[in-house]
Structure 1
Amino acid sequence: MTITRAATAADRDAVIAIWEICALTRPWNDPAADFQRALDHDASTIFVAERSAEIIGTAMTGFDGHRGWIYYLGVAPNRQGQGIARRLLDAACEWLRLRGCPKVELMLRDGNPASGLYEHLGWEPQDVRVFARWLT
């Protein structure tokens, strides 16, 4: 049976392994720092899907007071197609709902093959362009 729960500091290496196997990490982002920042703030968390004491999926979520965001949604390749992504999305959305969040969005890099999954689960593409600037 798969359980969904909030990640703890002890889950760091297993979570990062999922991010890496799902090609979610980028050379300019330190995944260990991303993990720690998410756990260190009340406005964010990371959910894990676990089966037989093995972490098989993750989703980072946060609430900025205006919108909720989901990042690093990944499921181990050998576990995809089993409803795990849906469970993680549901857990993240419920966490946001309990905090009064009116809308949740997720970012997907161009070319990510998961876009079909999100549309299948009822997520709608948005006409938004994201701009970024490094603060460090």
Structure 2
Amino acid sequence: MTPILRAGTVADIDALPALWRRAEAGPSTTETADDVRWLLERDPEALLVADVEGEIVGSLIAGWDGWRGTFYRLAVDPAHRRRGLATRMVEAGEERLRSLGAKRLNAIVESEEADAMAFWASAGYKLQTARSRFVKNLS
């Protein structure tokens, strides 16, 4: 069955960690259920999910800070890969962010994830090697 793309809801939050584990994109310290709940309270359409008869088989967070759009947590259940689902999700996220006024999009990708790096390149995104990302955990 073809997954339906829709805005994620609070009811989907509990399914996300299991999806992320299946997709080998395990939950991080900054993306807990409470964090996703907080995100949805502030931006109810930021989370996009792929749903097959009530089972969440894909996720994408399309964040908007008022200046540029950023993609996080693109994950597709291995049983649903190689069918264009990630591409459909990114295209839907791009349309959402374009409609909000985004002129530039970023994708946060772990550099050791070769498949993810190849996917984003195939989707038309360019790796910026001239910049580094600095992070600091506050908790």
Q: Normalized against structure 1, the TM-score is what?
A: 0.89
Q: Output the CA distance in 1 between the equivalents of 2:106 and 2:13.
A: 24
Report if aligned partners of 1:86, 1:121 keep a CA contact under 8 Å in 2.
Answer: yes
Of residues 16-25 and 48-57 in structure 1, the stretch that sits farther from structure 2 once superposed is 16-25
Give the distance between the partners of 1:24 and 1:110, measured in 2 at CA: 13
Asked if 1 retains the 8 angstrom alpha-carbon contact of 2:49 and 2:57, the reply is: yes
Comparing 64-73 with 24-33, greater Cα deviation is found at 24-33
1:66-103 CA-to-partner distances (Å, cap 9, x unmatched) read: 21001010000111101010111011111111110111
1:133 paired with 2:136, answer yes
Change (3 A) 1:19 1:93: same
Alpha-carbon distance, 1:30 to partner: 4.6
Cα distance change, pair 44–104 in 1 and its aligned pair in 2 (3 A): farther
- Residue 34 of structure 1 deviates from its aligned partner by 2.7
CA distance 1:11–1:37, change in 2 (3 Å) = same
Shift in CA distance, 115/134, structure 1 to aligned 2, threshold 3 Å: same
Contact preservation (8 Å) 2:111, 2:117:
no
- Please give the secondary structure, in 1, of the residue aligned with 2:26: coil
| Aligned-residue RMSD, C-alpha | 1.8
Work out whether residues 43 and 64 of structure 1, in 8 Å CA contact, stay in contact via their aligned partners in 2.
no
Q: CA deviation digits over 1:85-132, x for unaligned, max 9?
A: 011101111111111011110111120121111112222111321011
Distance in 2, Cα, partners of 1:92 & 1:68: 9
The one-letter amino acid paired with 2:134 is F
| Matched letter for residue 52 of structure 2 | R
Question: What corresponds to 1:124 in structure 2?
Answer: 126
User: Secondary structure, in 3 states, of the residue corresponding to 2:93?
Assistant: helix
Q: Is 93-102 or 27-36 further displaced after alignment?
A: 27-36
Map residues 1-136 of structure 1 onto 2, 5 A cutoff: 1-26=2-27, 28-42=29-43, 45-113=46-114, 114-127=116-129, 128-136=131-139
Question: Could you say what secondary structure the match of 2:100 adopts?
Answer: coil
Distance 1:62 1:80 in 2: 23
Separation of aligned partners in 1, 2:26 and 2:45: 18
Aligned residues: 136
Q: Secondary structure at the match of 1:17?
A: helix
Q: Which runs of 5+ in 1 are unaligned?
A: none
Report the more deviating stretch, 92-101 or 20-29.
20-29
